[in-house]
Amino acid sequence: MEAPIIIFDLVGEDVTKTITPTKLVQMRGNIDKAVIEDNVLQLIGWAASVNAGPVESLRVSYSGKEFTDFEMAFGIKSPDVKEIFPNLECAQKSRFRIRIPLNQEEQQQIRDSLIVVTPLFKEGEGGSILYLLEPSLPLPSEDDSELMIWIGSNALATFSRTAIEFLGYFLEMAALKPTDSVLDVGCGMGRIAYTLAYYLAPTTRYEGFDIMEPLIQWAQNNIAPRFPNFNFRRVDIYNKLYNHNGTLPATEFVFPYEDESFDFVFLGSVFTHIPACEVRHYLEEIYRVLKPGGRCLCTVFLHNEESAKLIAAGKSSANLVHEIDDYFATSLDMPEMFTGFKEDLLLGWIGSSGFTVKGKYYGLWCGRTEFISYQDILILHKD
């Protein structure tokens, strides 16, 4: 047998060994296939750690319910994973198979739901590997391609993949709970809302706003009718690139929400398209609407010694070479195309706004060989 098999009994006890996670392990993983056949849910995927050795067990849940009776095999040969991620430990034997018997009620419940697989290592618990099984929410189609160009290249093909990727970050980096109220600043078509709809409790509040009417209209038409706790609104903020007819300066915009009304705020690729004065104002507004203990995850371009060297060497996909006042841009004519900030300066603004930086994760954008996502990620905490 090429992989160890562990059978869980009906109370969830591992008959081979008990693993007690002690910390969050840095890892990568994916579910490549999930299918229900002959009353059995089959999951095929892979998981490998950065420096915590091989997977020793797996935990599986959906909609907050954990499975306690299933069969799993792990440590399966995976030369394809090793080729793509040569620096991950045990990448050459990182694949797993899971078989979960389902009764008729479970088969109905698990369809159109979010499946969560959590790898367990000797040193601790890995991040969540997520998979949407037979989602009924519509995805953007070729008919929406003109809208998709506003949220990134190849966005049509990667819409749900990006949504799942960031939900994973929310869970791992910001400890997002299903009962946390969420504000999505620059929500676009609802790409992040797409998976949050399957994770947040039906009574949990989600609010998203954006400056582009067609994007908001898509989310209102395709997500809000199925999930009435999800609300999308358009705001007429001026931005030279995205809303040049906007009537309201961003520095005067007050988020249309009460003080201390959200547990979590997300800004995906917002601070990468606005100047420093608007970033500082948004930080103040985010702090205002967050509850004490609330968190914010934002993506940014951090200009530091490493990224500056990579930009100068021509490695970066965001050529932040023009310094304008207290930020960097790729274009003098259209600074909003891409904006970045000196790391120590931005962290100073964040601190002055009252936040504590709880996490900093560097991205691929400048040509790094080791990264978490495309853009840099910051986790802010309101004490």
SS3 state of residue 207: strand
Q: What stretch of H or E contains 167?
A: helix 155-174
Considering the chain, tell me which residue range(s) the CATH 2.60.40.10 domain(s) occupy: 5-133
Residues sharing a CB contact under 8 Å with residue 53, sequence separation 6 or more, in sequence order: 89, 90, 121, 122, 123
> What is the pLDDT at residue 65?
86
Residues sharing a CB contact under 8 Å with residue 274, sequence separation 6 or more, in sequence order: 239, 250, 282, 336, 339
Residue pLDDT tens, the chain, 383 long: 334 333 332 223 333 333 333 467 888 899 999 999 999 999 999 999 988 999 999 999 998 789 988 999 999 999 999 999 998 999 999 999 999 999 999 999 999 999 999 999 988 888 889 999 999 999 887 777 677 666 665 565 678 888 999 999 999 899 999 999 999 999 999 999 999 999 999 999 999 999 999 999 999 999 999 999 999 999 999 999 889 999 999 999 999 999 999 999 999 999 999 999 999 999 999 999 999 999 999 999 999 999 999 999 999 999 999 999 999 999 999 999 999 999 999 999 999 999 999 999 999 999 998 888 999 999 999 99
By the 8 A CB rule, do 301 and 338 touch? Answer: yes
> What is the pLDDT at residue 1?
31
By the 8 A CB rule, do 285 and 254 touch? Answer: yes
CA dist 330 and 337 (Å) reads 7
> What is the pLDDT at residue 12?
31
> What is the pLDDT at residue 370?
83
> What is the pLDDT at residue 19?
37
Residue 79 buriedness (CB in 10 A; 0-12 / 13-18 / 19+): exposed
**5-133 architecture in CATH?**
Sandwich (2.60)
Residues sharing a CB contact under 8 Å with residue 185, sequence separation 6 or more, in sequence order: 208, 209, 255, 265, 266, 267, 270, 282, 286
Query: Which among 280, 291, 270 has a CA at the least distance from the CA of 377?
Result: 270
SS3 state of residue 5: strand
Query: Which among 357, 373, 372 has a CA at the least distance from the CA of 174?
Result: 357
CA dist 164 and 121 (Å) reads 22
CA dist 44 and 74 (Å) reads 10
By the 8 A CB rule, do 140 and 189 touch? Answer: yes
> What is the pLDDT at residue 372?
85
Q: What stretch of H or E contains 29?
A: strand 27-37
> What is the pLDDT at residue 148?
66
CA dist 97 and 5 (Å) reads 10
Is pTM beyond 0.95? Reply is no
Residue pointed to by tokens 């205002």: 288
SS3 state of residue 336: helix
CA dist 248 and 232 (Å) reads 19
> What is the pLDDT at residue 82?
95
Considering the chain, tell me which residue range(s) the CATH 3.40.50.150 domain(s) occupy: 142-382
DSSP letter assigned to residue 104: H
Homologous superfamily of domain range 142-382 = Vaccinia Virus protein VP39 (3.40.50.150)
